[in-house]
Chain A
Amino acid sequence: MVTPDSADLAGARPQPPVPAEEVPLDLPFDTDGLYAVRSSVAAHAGHLGASTQVVQRVLIVASELATNAVRHGGGRGRLRLWVSAGRLHCEVSDSGRGLADITAGIERPAPTAPGGRGLWISRQLADEFTIQSGPHGTTARFAVSLDGDGPDTSSDEIA
């Protein structure tokens, strides 16, 4: 039996290169660009074949990661979105001073805690999540399967 170390649990495995020639959305952003991030991600994800549910998950995670970049990662970042092997992939990178704790968001934050929920939400909604961080920046990457509903976070909705 193999016990994963904490770095693996945090999704800190090395990331393969982004397939540069096949990235339909490559968007630099800053604080004022968060609306543009959301509308571009939603539009492109829909165009790339994602269902409404998948678009919502990608929108929520991409927006939280972009928010982290502008709030804690030096005020700006870059977002890329592409499809590979039946999954929608998204990478959000910044050139900030890096995360203090790469395992942030693995444990559910207490309901009374003032913050720290963006990474928790991201890890919950993504089918695959990796994050690398150092003194020169943070790169988070996630993937959501284009078929299937993925993690069920909703309950007894009145629709």
Chain B
Amino acid sequence: MADASMVGRLTGGDHACLTFSDAEERIDLVASFVRTGLRSGHRVVCWTDSIPPDDLARALAERAVRHGAAIRRGQLTIAPVHSSLLGSGGASASEMISVLTHEIDRAAEDGYPGVRIAADMCWATQPLAAADQLAAFESAAAHLFADGRLCLICQYDRDRFDAVTLAFAAESHPKAVAAQVYYDSPLLRICRQYSPSGVRVAGELDYRQQEEFEHALGESLRLDRNMHVNLRDLAYIDAACASLIVRAARRLPASRRMIINCRGVVRTVLDLVGANSAPQLRVTVAHGHA
């Protein structure tokens, strides 16, 4: 299996398998992939399945991806995966390869140096999907990447694919992309967020994982100009960890910000440990979570 690569470092010629644990993490990684592609002047195509195209566009916008103008000028396409033939179920490996070849040629004709494609492989779990053809495709596609014009990430939901398929997917892709994880248990996940960059915490956070949380905040403090701390899926935080957030924010120079999005219960604790004593700190409450 390939080493986990940072999604932001993927470049032309890369064929990567993206695995994720929940919808937020997937959208975060895809947003980073799209944003890097748009910035470097490539065409970007998102073939989506489990998330409707409009919802994906909205989710990208919430993650600092300016998609509107890019879609209007034809640089960005967000479309259902079944429209691409990749997801039409009966497609053969050679048909899938011709679809990708067509995208590479079309991007070149339109003057783009390359094309970045993010493909949701969720359809392959459906009963009539040609899973054997998927396997054949992933193996046969290698030559498409030789000239560095195509960058493709195939998204596999760790919860929806069986272990055998996931292991095969990991082996057949030269690279693997996943979020950097600082702590992971059924009750708490602390990982890096890529777009906008910072930290994401889901579950319940208390003093027992204070060290891992501090490490995650410390990395963001070093790497990110403004730290985006996504606590939307955090159901509880204790005073010790909330205080850590406030003290980290206070260490930021006045020109930098820590931006927190959280639920009402977390906001209450942050307020009580002195969130308003840190002018660098911005706290907003997530929609529907007052």
- Contact residues of A with B, CB < 8 Å? 31, 34-35, 38, 53, 56-57, 59-60, 63-64, 67, 71, 108, 111-112, 114-115, 117-118, 120-121, 124-125, 153-155, 157-159
Contacts A112-B250, A117-B243 given; does A35 touch B204 at CB 8 Å: yes
Extra pairs beyond A59-B265, A117-B242 (4, CB < 8 Å)? A53-B264, A112-B247, A121-B269, A154-B271
- Contact residues of B with A, CB < 8 Å? 187, 204, 206-208, 236, 238-240, 242-243, 246-247, 250, 264-265, 267-269, 271-274, 276-278, 284-285, 287-290
C-alpha gap A155/B282 in the complex (Å): 12
**Are B250 and A56 in contact, with the CB atoms below 8 A?**
no
Tell me if A's interface is mostly helix, strand, loop or mixed. helix
**Are A158 and B284 in contact, with the CB atoms below 8 A?**
yes
**Are A63 and B238 in contact, with the CB atoms below 8 A?**
yes
Residues of A within 8 A of B243 (CB): 114-115, 117
Residues of B within 8 A of A111 (CB): 246-247, 250, 273-274, 277-278
C-alpha gap A85/B65 in the complex (Å): 53
Residues of A within 8 A of B276 (CB): 155
Contacts A64-B239, A67-B206, A67-B238 given; does A120 touch B277 at CB 8 Å: no
Contacts A31-B208, A117-B243, A159-B287 given; does A56 touch B272 at CB 8 Å: no
**Are B272 and A121 in contact, with the CB atoms below 8 A?**
yes
**Are B273 and A117 in contact, with the CB atoms below 8 A?**
yes
**Are B236 and A115 in contact, with the CB atoms below 8 A?**
no
Tell me which of A114, A121, A154 contacts B267 (CB under 8 A): A154
**Are A159 and B285 in contact, with the CB atoms below 8 A?**
yes
Residues of B within 8 A of A155 (CB): 271, 276
Residues of B within 8 A of A157 (CB): 264, 267, 285, 290
- Measured CB to CB, the nearest residue on chain B to A55 is B265
**Are B247 and A118 in contact, with the CB atoms below 8 A?**
no
Shortest 7 CB-CB distances between A and B: which pairs?
A159-B290, A117-B239, A111-B274, A111-B277, A56-B265, A157-B285, A121-B272
C-alpha gap A31/B238 in the complex (Å): 14
**Are A56 and B240 in contact, with the CB atoms below 8 A?**
no
- Measured CB to CB, the nearest residue on chain A to B288 is A159
Residues of A within 8 A of B208 (CB): 31, 34
Residues of A within 8 A of B206 (CB): 34, 63, 67
